[in-house]
Structure 1
Amino acid sequence: MADFIVPSTHRPDTDAQHRLKGPIHAQRHVRVVCIGAGASGLLMAYKLQKHFTNYSLQVYEKNQEVSGTWFENKYPGCACDVPSHNYTWSFEPKLDWSAVYAGSKEIFAYFNDFARKYGLHKYVKTQHQVVKAEWNKEKGGYDVQVKDLSSGQIVDDHCDILVNASGILNNWQWPAIPGLDKYKGTLLHTANWDENIDLKGRHVGLIGNGSSGIQVLPTIQPHVQKVTTFIREPTWVSPVQGLEQHVFSEHEKFEFATKPGALVEYRKNIERGLNGQFGIFLKNSNINSETEAYFRQQMTDKLHNEYLEERLIPNWHVGCRRLTPGVGYLEALGKPNVETVYGEINEITERGCLCDNGQEYPVDVLICATGFNTSFKPRFPVINPAGENLQDVWAKEPRSYLGVAAADFPNYLIFLGPNCPIGNGPVLSAIECQADYMCKLIDRFQTHNISTFSPKSEAIDDFLQFKDDFMKRTVWHDACRSWYKSLGPDGPVTALWPGSTLHYIEALMEVRHDDWDVKYNGNRFAWLGNGYSQTEIDPTADWAYYIRDKDDDEPLSRLRKLKEINRSGTVAAAKAVSFTGRATDEPEKGGESKL
């Protein structure tokens, strides 16, 4: 017998009735539209291609190339603040990273090569930007309007499931400073860099001391006549102990490429270290206190300037803002051709910046390292069956279910949505578990006569209440200005997960179906079909597969299953972490905490 597949249809009665002709869990055709071909969008394409049949996928990407932020960001010194060998998919290592913290061009090459290796470009239409998605009340699914940026024409599409993989650090924005349009010099933004601009011998102004500003300064300082850097608040700048910058030698690269297990063990050690940092973010934990003391000493030693020490070393906890390695940044602040102006910029003039100290600072080139819109509102209208726009619904506060979905917006899934672990630990690991979670939802949609699925409002209410209570115990709750809190320094933590990345991975291992509002086409048991199993329609399958000479079943309890997945008992030297976040050698005995 051939595989039985439910044909593509949007008529509820037809879907349910057709299922009665085939076996249990017959697959219907599913149309998926994914917005964005950055890391998340490419991974989604890979997962669908690897695990599904009878589907169609279209990925729309506004840029000329794939790889998202790593194609867009080309400013001097642009790099990732995650060690390069661990800024890869868990299953797809790269043998020849140049250094611990690799530049954006290398990272772009990694994701572009990943897409090429697995033939993912065929799913992607570049220079196509989604401008609207609206629920179709008659046939279900989303009508998607897409602008062809090369021609200006609007292209119409339709999908059963809409996946937003457009990213959080993607929609760059100019600073909200009056007079920006009056400036007559060269105006640049780090996320929209013009590589044709030559900075050599020029007086450059640099606004911002977030991640991009910290990377730009030491890169341009040796080549410009002068840098005037404008800083309005302190920030912690230092690599975590043991994760300092290091350029890999040819011998190290050769060993990674040829010595069995060498690269895997190196990556595992780094990942264990990254996962072991979560205690840093818990108030009153030993690891937080020790890290703060280490950072404070590092900054003091590198600044050698009492004026800068008083203004740049924070009085809030380490980790309230994203930790930044800041290779060479503090040293660059002390160079003779660098002037640091601390305070607010009141106005941009024709010549430069007018600050709250009453002085105007003329510059030839003004670089805005001022980041992105991190409100989590989608960049285009997403309209649900009730006619509500998610942009309006999330205007006051972004409210997601576990960072992957929104209440009352059916069949709509989000990568790196509100309150996911984008700053809690290794981020690509979190993206992988989100992709797996989405695939489980899509599989259930495909093999059952489901019309819509969306998280229940009460489930999100409970999740956010838990999240807000948990965050009071963390350094993120401090009154620092951070993109982790899109509503301001005293607002709720909207970006981060209430726990570690490993905690998030375990939370998303299984779909909690009781948290989801699911509606069916016809009788909810139509998926049972004609009484035949999928096994019986496969002539190559063993129709007595459950007969064996020993019990080799997979574990049924969550804990036993997890112990198999995480290979419990195989890492003798692993430190345990108590519920206070304190690193210990023995969980029941406590012990001296270590970084």
Structure 2
Amino acid sequence: MADFPICEAMKTPTLGKGKDRAEDDAQRRLGGPIHQERHVKIICVGAGASGLLFAYKLQRHFQNFTLTVYEKNSEENKYPGCACDVPSHNYTWSFEPKLDWSAVYSGSGEIFEYFNTFSTKYRLHKYVKTMHQVTGAVWDNEHSGYQVTAKDLSTGNEIHDSCDILINASGILNNWRWPAIPGLFDYKGKLLHTANWDDSFDLTGKHVGLIGNGSSGIQVLPAVLPKVSHITTFIREPTWVSPVQGLEQHVFTPQERQEFAHKPSTLTAYRKSVETGLNGQFGLFLKNSSVNDNTHDYMVEQMKLKLNDERLISKLIPEWSVGCRRLTPGVNYLESLTKPNVTVVYGEIDKVTERGCLCSDGKEYPIDVLICATGFDTTFKPRFPLIAPNGKNLQDEWAKEPRSYMGIAAAEFPNYLIFLGPNCPIGNGPVLSAIELQADYMCKLIDHWQTHNIKKFSPKKEAVDDFIAYKDDFMKRTVWNDPCRSWYKGGQIDAPITALWPGSTLHYIEALSDVRMEDFDVEYASNRFSYLGNGFSQTELDTTADWAYYIREHDDGEWLSRGRRRRDLTKSGTVDRREAVSFSGVDATQAKL
């Protein structure tokens, strides 16, 4: 066996001249062992949390690859009060805790430090090109991949690149937008947006106008209030604002931080308890569930207590269900609305004048500075033309309603994968857990592409149609279907729910634990069995491997049923029985599978 020609079998394939690359690779496979790992070239759009995790996963699990991550920004959101609305110790990767968070809800500086430290620790910066904005991607049938163009924002130069697989990790809350209010740019004062903050501008002593009471507005108001002379906050609609019971803001004491740093078991237990609590909240989003009723009563009580003003109470406490819009902890927000130097204007802004805002009450409110906390473009359309083999542009296909395969891919757009795509658990559970799952799922697909002679793969249209039909039916039974205006529904009151998964985060984790290749259209280059190669196994190429690894003293193999794997993975039986959520009269712990 020492004379076996390993070198030729394991060489990295190169692009054939005048031939389809996938077919060239298929022919090359016949000279190598089964599952030979051909080289894969990947472009990832976005170096935020998702993009960095993808780079980490690819680096950890793969060898024969090239990765380029294009990132249009140079830094993260930095508006005053910008903070995580998930408990900090659970706004980390499951395998990479941060020991020294300052508080339950930490600011953007600490969040940036965490992800930057993660990138530095695992040397991920080498894959990233910052200040590079992807401007287009077109499927190239000859080479079975994408031709990608990007703009170097520092020089203005256009870059041409190509890849076998294209990953979109640009995120849903990244492409900020100005509000569509007439006359906005006629305003003569200082105009700011929370997602494009100007650090050089001093708010001290200014009369500030604040548009919006979503997550950004809720964070900004108490942060800038001590500096300004007055704030006039313009609120169009009510929203639920209150800490989730048991997860109120708390600054960690030096003793707590020391224990977290030096007693890993203490921190792990704390993180598990918080994650368990977050996962246990899914019943909140189901209509007529006990947890939703109890949370509603608690939030009404808390909002009334903190507002202590009948006019504000009548305007700001919603009639629709708790959870219809994203819940925000709102540290000191409600209390700030009652301060003497805060004016709450409830209703529509008809237009922005040179001096301020003219509102539906007929009054003009002059201000020195206008802050727009009006969020992002949440349409899910890619921010660059993405052209499929049939000439369709995904921007057009998803203009009215984004229709994804389980939040991760699009029908008819091959070799294209999406982080936090339509209908994944963005607002109904621990989102970083979902991102980790999506990265793992992508790696499984990439592995399948790399070890088989696949030309292209994409979810079947009928699979997407079936998923959307299931999702739409499920959503009728949730609070998200209530008549509230939400980015979950593309900023509409009555529209399909396109941002959320039809289930819990744990449900999503189980749903995507295995790749259902039967849901994919797969096109092979040449014979689909070319991956079988020259008859030798990969094991025989490894002279340090145990060539009789399957001979054992007892059966310690992988569980072959999903149920046994799940019970083993989740350590079933190790936790005291807890109360389960009742949904449609079915006790989740007693339902027969």
Scaled by the length of structure 1, what TM-score is found?
0.96
CA contact (8 A) 1:79 1:215 kept: yes
Whether 1:101 aligns to 2:105 is yes
Alignment of 1:382-421 (within 5 A): 382-421=386-425
Specify the alignment match of 2:114 in structure 1.
110
CA contact (8 A) 1:63 1:126 kept: yes
Deviation for aligned residue 1:18: 1.1
CA contact (8 A) 1:129 1:149 kept: yes
Alignment of 1:82-101 (within 5 A): 82-101=86-105
1:475 to 479, 501, 510: 479
CA contact (8 A) 1:575 1:583 kept: no
SS at match of 1:288: helix
Specify the alignment match of 2:260 in structure 1.
256
CA contact (8 A) 1:287 1:583 kept: no
Specify the alignment match of 1:204 in structure 2.
208
Alignment of 1:62-461 (within 5 A): 62-64=72-74, 71-461=75-465
Alignment CA distance shift 1:440-1:94 (3 Å): same
**Which residue identity does 1:291 align to in structure 2?**
T
**Alpha-carbon separation, structure 2, partners of 1:79 and 1:581:** 38
Specify the alignment match of 2:3 in structure 1.
none
**Alpha-carbon separation, structure 1, partners of 2:528 and 2:141:** 20
SS at match of 1:536: helix
Deviation for aligned residue 1:12: 3.2
**Alpha-carbon separation, structure 1, partners of 2:191 and 2:472:** 40
**Which residue identity does 2:55 align to in structure 1?**
A
Specify the alignment match of 2:545 in structure 1.
541
CA contact (8 A) 1:279 1:581 kept: no
2:13 to 7, 13, 36: 7
**Which residue identity does 1:236 align to in structure 2?**
W
2:567 to 563, 568, 572: 563
1:15-58 deviation per Cα after TM superposition (whole angstroms, max 9, x unaligned):
11111111100010000000000000000000000000110000
Specify the alignment match of 1:39 in structure 2.
49
Deviation for aligned residue 1:13: 2.8
2:60 to 50, 54, 67: 50
Deviation for aligned residue 1:574: 3.8
**Alpha-carbon separation, structure 1, partners of 2:394 and 2:359:** 38
Please identify, of 431-440 and 485-494, the stretch whose mean Cα deviation from structure 2 is larger. Answer: 485-494
**Alpha-carbon separation, structure 1, partners of 2:256 and 2:585:** 34
Deviation for aligned residue 1:11: 2.3
Whether 1:26 aligns to 2:30 is no
SS at match of 2:541: coil
**Alpha-carbon separation, structure 1, partners of 2:469 and 2:242:** 33
**Which residue identity does 1:216 align to in structure 2?**
V
**Alpha-carbon separation, structure 2, partners of 1:563 and 1:580:** 25
1:426-480 deviation per Cα after TM superposition (whole angstroms, max 9, x unaligned):
0000000000000000000000000000000000000000000000000000110
CA contact (8 A) 1:88 1:428 kept: yes
CA contact (8 A) 1:8 1:28 kept: no
**Which residue identity does 1:132 align to in structure 2?**
G
SS at match of 1:525: helix
Whether 1:499 aligns to 2:503 is yes
Please identify, of 486-495 and 115-124, the stretch whose mean Cα deviation from structure 2 is larger. Answer: 486-495
CA contact (8 A) 1:144 1:157 kept: yes
1:232-278 deviation per Cα after TM superposition (whole angstroms, max 9, x unaligned):
10000001100000000000000001124000000000000000000
Deviation for aligned residue 1:73: 1.1
Deviation for aligned residue 1:576: 3.1
**Alpha-carbon separation, structure 2, partners of 1:575 and 1:439:** 36
CA contact (8 A) 1:287 1:582 kept: no
CA contact (8 A) 2:23 2:526 kept: yes
**Which residue identity does 1:285 align to in structure 2?**
S
**Alpha-carbon separation, structure 2, partners of 1:235 and 1:78:** 19
**Which residue identity does 1:514 align to in structure 2?**
E
**Alpha-carbon separation, structure 2, partners of 1:264 and 1:583:** 29
CA contact (8 A) 1:578 1:587 kept: no
**Alpha-carbon separation, structure 2, partners of 1:62 and 1:236:** 34
CA contact (8 A) 2:12 2:64 kept: no
SS at match of 1:115: helix
**Alpha-carbon separation, structure 1, partners of 2:23 and 2:249:** 61
**Which residue identity does 1:13 align to in structure 2?**
E
How many residues in Structure 1 have an aligned counterpart in Structure 2? 581
SS at match of 2:539: coil
**Which residue identity does 1:11 align to in structure 2?**
R
CA contact (8 A) 1:471 1:498 kept: yes
SS at match of 1:254: helix
CA contact (8 A) 1:72 1:192 kept: no
Deviation for aligned residue 1:581: 8.7
SS at match of 1:324: coil
Deviation for aligned residue 1:138: 1.7
**Alpha-carbon separation, structure 2, partners of 1:581 and 1:415:** 34
Deviation for aligned residue 1:578: 3.7
CA contact (8 A) 1:169 1:372 kept: yes
**Alpha-carbon separation, structure 2, partners of 1:214 and 1:229:** 10
SS at match of 1:72: coil
CA contact (8 A) 2:355 2:366 kept: yes
CA contact (8 A) 1:77 1:103 kept: yes
**Alpha-carbon separation, structure 1, partners of 2:242 and 2:173:** 22
**Alpha-carbon separation, structure 2, partners of 1:238 and 1:158:** 48
Alignment CA distance shift 1:137-1:487 (3 Å): farther
Alignment CA distance shift 1:394-1:487 (3 Å): farther
**Alpha-carbon separation, structure 2, partners of 1:333 and 1:47:** 45
CA contact (8 A) 2:82 2:107 kept: yes
Deviation for aligned residue 1:140: 1.5
1:205-255 deviation per Cα after TM superposition (whole angstroms, max 9, x unaligned):
000000000001111112211000000100000011000000000000000
**Which residue identity does 1:7 align to in structure 2?**
P
CA contact (8 A) 2:321 2:479 kept: yes
Gaps of 5+ in 2: 1-5
**Alpha-carbon separation, structure 1, partners of 2:474 and 2:564:** 27
Deviation for aligned residue 1:580: 4.3
CA contact (8 A) 2:76 2:112 kept: no
**Which residue identity does 2:48 align to in structure 1?**
G
CA contact (8 A) 2:182 2:352 kept: yes
Scaled by the length of structure 2, what TM-score is found?
0.96
1:303-357 deviation per Cα after TM superposition (whole angstroms, max 9, x unaligned):
0111111110000000000001100000000000000000000000000000011
